[in-house]
Chains A and B, each alone.
Chain A
Amino acid sequence: MATATLERKPSKLSPGFLAWLAFIGLCLLIGLVAAIQVFTRGLVITNMSDLVPWGLWITVDLSSIALGAGAFTLSAVVYLFGIKRFQPIVRLAVFVGFIGYTSALLTLVMDIGRPDRFWHPWVYWNVHSVLWEITWCITIYLTIMLVEFAPVVFESRFFNRWPWLRTIAHVAHSLAPALAILGLMISLLHQSSLGATYGIVKSRPIWFKPSMPIMFILSAVAVGPALTMSVAFIAEWITGKRTVPHDILRIISRFSGLGLLVYAYIKFWDLAAVTYYGRTPAVSQALTMLSDQTPYNFGFWFGEIIIGILIPVAVFLLPNYNKKPLNLVFGTVCAMIGVIVNRWNITVSGLFVPVSYSPGTMYHLPPGQYFPSLVEWAVVLGIIGYGLLMLTLGIRFLPLFSEAKQQGRG
């Protein structure tokens, strides 16, 4: 990194940028300290328990993978559907996707009890397990993104001294359409399997439904591209250079708005089926318990529906609002909050409802209780720091927006 900085113009570090770097450094430091605590003392310092074995970290995993969905969606738009107009945003989309997926993997390594065995799913196969399939898909897709993105990295001046890298990069670049198709298939599979992770657990009444995978993938396809769009706007504000043509960004926002509408439609029928047409005693009991004892309903109606769907749909689709970039970024933040609240509500609420198996009438496991501990928040802060650091470095040092120019020069 130091070399790359030296090769550029000598220090262009404004005080604001330094403060930003200091903030990122602080996040990373806090995260690192927390991670060391977890690795040395074990998961006992989290607030997870045998009743609620998954918590904040799984929520972060699911959310960051969903938010990385812009990569495969926009790649497919360009390479599969042949809409070349969107070419200028593909690099950024893949970059944001890469950050999302690596963040998820980092969190996962924190979350499993034996991080030293993270490689086991690659060696010991259980083809019946959704989690095995997800691990494989994420690995393969991460590789695809690396190959897709390699040309961008090798284009930077730092790599001028190794011309053969550039040759490899160009081969990789010519593979882009094939990679996009493969990436689309793999992504469709694992983005929905993440929902299936919950949907197949038949002992958990509020999880066990076939709509789970569909809602997961729809929300990811809707919100992922919006995040890419917002990053493009923010990068433009910071660097002061036009990044991606604004009409393209506005089309993406409209796409996200429509995607959220489709998501809302499926969600509506899911709600109708679960609470009305297909209501079972177990589901009714679970929902009553959740609404009496937890902010489940508030999270659902306020977090998921109003903040996560209605506001972004209005901002993305109404012509009065979707002209201003600031509004679009605001809408994206709302949609992101919606996705995160949704993943939290599903994970944690599903586990709050205790399983019941005794043949008698009296014995019930106590309802689960969970709120993330300080260490869990600190790790998440570290992960956010990682994401911001990658974005900052990428925008500063990588030719994310200037494919045509770079190719002309090189």
Chain B
Amino acid sequence: MKNKKTKIKVELSRRDFLTVAATAAGSVVAAQALTTGPLSPFSNLKQSQLEGVESSAANAKHIPRWGMVIDLDRCIGCEYCLRACSATNDVDPQRTWNIVVPEKTSNGRSFFFSRPCLHCQEAPCVEVCPVKATYHREDGLVVMDYERCIGCRYCEVACPYDVRVFNWQDRPEGNPFIPTWGIAEVERRPRGVVEKCTFCIHRIDAGLKKGLTPGVDRDATPACVNICPVGARTFGNLNDPDSPVSQLLAQTATIRLREELGTEPNVYYIPPKEGL
């Protein structure tokens, strides 16, 4: 009995051992890649939900999360936001990034509904883009690399909020909203790429460098927020409990659009007082 056992051990020792070891090592690497590594379907989830919980308390003010609150009761449907945005970002006036439309509650009372990009934390457009031309910045903004976009329009198909606009042709003509509603602060996008609302990142980034607070200092705040004559839009850092936007969220009941899709938008709406 004893002899036999030792013999088996010896036989196993070379080639088989190597095979087993290699298989085991390979499996570990594969498992690692598939569960916590870059191939994991949960890697998005982990970053934003698991680490986010720990780090949000510590880094509250260091890594901001930009968000917006839109008060549907205040909006008067003047479309100033749409025009200022079109001028500032040089957007086609026929197909603007912001929309403003008349709406009705279920009781038949009228109100106005406006919509920028909602900058979802679980953005379908980011998931589907084959080249990462659309991506999440560290501060939660969903932005585009117009140099990288191949114009496949999958993001346009996947966006639940109809936010995205494709450049079907060159746009040589001028923008009628310039200079009345502002001047172009960013370059016009070329033909063949998709474009979208950026929450005016050029203002946020430049403002932060100058030590300004986006949402408080006008130079660092999106054009649509600045122009609103009734203050229906509030912008700021959702990770900073003292920011105006966090204060408003803490005091008021808000909703988000199509919550059931799990897109976790960073834009909140204050519904009309009597309900939707």
Which A residues form the contact surface with B (CB < 8 A)? 41-44, 48-51, 53-54, 111-114, 117-118, 120-121, 124-132, 135, 197, 200-204, 351, 354-355, 357-363, 365
Contacts and interface: CB of A to CB of B under 8 A. Distances in A.
B154 A131 contact: yes
11 contacts: A50-B156, A53-B156, A114-B192, A117-B151, A120-B130, A129-B129, A129-B130, A129-B154, A358-B103, A359-B271, A362-B102
A53 B132 contact: no
Residue among B130, B169, B193 having the largest count of chain A Cβ atoms under 10 Å? B130
Contacts of A51: 162
Contacts of A132: 130-131
A127 B132 CA distance: 9
B109 to A, nearest CB: 10
Given A42-B169, A201-B158, A357 B131 contact: no
Tell me what chain B mostly uses at the interface: helix, strand, loop, or mixed. loop
A124 B131 contact: yes
Nearest to A113: B151
B202 interface: no
Chain B's interface size range is 35 or more
A42 B113 contact: no
B276 A359 contact: yes
A44 B156 CA distance: 16
A99 to B, nearest CB: 23
Interface of B: 38-39, 41, 44, 72, 95, 101-106, 111, 113, 115, 124, 127-133, 148-154, 156-162, 164-170, 191-194, 255, 257-258, 261-262, 269, 271, 276
Nearest to B104: A362
Nearest to B127: A128
B124 A203 contact: yes
Contacts of B39: 127
A357 B258 contact: yes
A197 B155 CA distance: 11
Contact of B157 (A42, A53, A363): A53
A275 B26 CA distance: 45
Contacts of A54: 153, 157
A126 B131 contact: yes
B150 A50 contact: no
A130 B166 contact: no
B103 A114 contact: no
Contacts of A41: 169
Given A43-B151, A124-B133, A359-B103, 18 more contacts: A50-B165, A54-B153, A114-B150, A120-B131, A121-B131, A129-B127, A129-B128, A129-B130, A130-B128, A131-B128, A135-B130, A203-B124, A204-B157, A354-B162, A360-B276, A361-B105, A363-B113, A365-B162
A113 B106 contact: no
Given A113-B150, A131-B130, A135-B130, A203 B165 contact: no
B56 to A, nearest CB: 23
Given A126-B129, A203-B261, A360 B103 contact: yes
A211 to B, nearest CB: 19
Contacts of B133: 120, 124
Contacts of B104: 360-362
A18 B36 CA distance: 61
B141 to A, nearest CB: 17
Contact of A357 (B106, B161, B192): B161
A118 B150 contact: yes
Contact of A42 (B191, B194, B262, B269): B191
Contacts of B269: 359
A362 B193 contact: no
Nearest to B151: A113
Nearest to B257: A357
Nearest to A118: B150
Contacts of A50: 95, 156, 162, 164-166
A351 to B, nearest CB: 7
